[in-house]
Chain A
Amino acid sequence: GAVVSQHPSRVICKSGTSVKIECRSLDFQATTMFWYRQFPKKSLMLMATSNEGSKATYEQGVEKDKFLINHASLTLSTLTVTSAHPEDSSFYICSAMTPRPDRGHTDTQYFGPGTRLTVL
């Protein structure tokens, strides 16, 4: 099946610093990737949709200046948490849909392994 990787898997940073998380589709090209956030023992919440070659679209309540998303290529999307604060500590997961020539996508999403961010 399709593989999506994330880097780093775990990061600890000081309050006020910025952290970049990478999401890569390893064996397919993804024009669209999604970023989710998950609090401990909670469900996933969609933060934003990352579109290759265009600006990301953010869900209501998500600060676009706080969570910068760049989809520079068909296999890479990055999420930068700017001026991180302890309340940004969370598990961040990306996903990508595999393309299919006749329909654009297969409807199935493949998720990365997640990045655990801890802000001290």
Chain B
Amino acid sequence: SQQGEEDPQALSIQEGENATMNCSYKTSINNLQWYRQNSGRGLVHLILIRSNEREKHSGRLRVTLDTSKKSSSLLITASRAADTASYFCATDAGGTSYGKLTFGQGTILTVHP
């Protein structure tokens, strides 16, 4: 079943502002990952958070995970025009589905200079 719903579907902000994207999922997970995709390109892995972790940082990125609510958020601080892209969350259920990612619908982020 499709899972990994993200909101907002589109987000438009000014350079320097923070951008927050949310992701919800339906089943138990081993880990949750965030990816970035520029138009017509492949995916770039941003950050992975495991089910026993609650928060993780990487540079200007901050990811939180709430397994009780089956949700995650990605915060990009001090956004730049170069951050303009689509952002996807993806869950890995582990077990026999290990490595098989279920992607959310994505958030299109536009950062205006």
Contact = CB atoms under 8 A, between A and B. Distances in A.
Contact of B99 (A1, A6, A49): A49
B101 A109 contact: yes
B99 A97 contact: yes
Interface residues of A, number: 25
A77 to B, nearest CB: 13
Sorting the interface of chain B by its residue count into under 10, 10 to 19, 20 to 34 or 35 or more gives 20 to 34
Contacts of B33: 108-109
Contacts of B30: 107
Nearest to A6: B42
A111 interface: yes
Interface in A63-89: none
B100 A34 contact: yes
A110 B101 CA distance: 12
Interface stretch (B11-19, B57-65, B103-111): B103-111
A113 B42 contact: yes
Given A93-B43, A113-B41, A108 B48 contact: yes
B45 A43 contact: no
Nearest to A46: B100
Q: Which of A44, A45, A93, A110 has the most CB of B within 10 A?
A: A44
Interface of B: 4, 30-31, 33, 35, 40-45, 48, 50, 88, 90, 92, 98-106
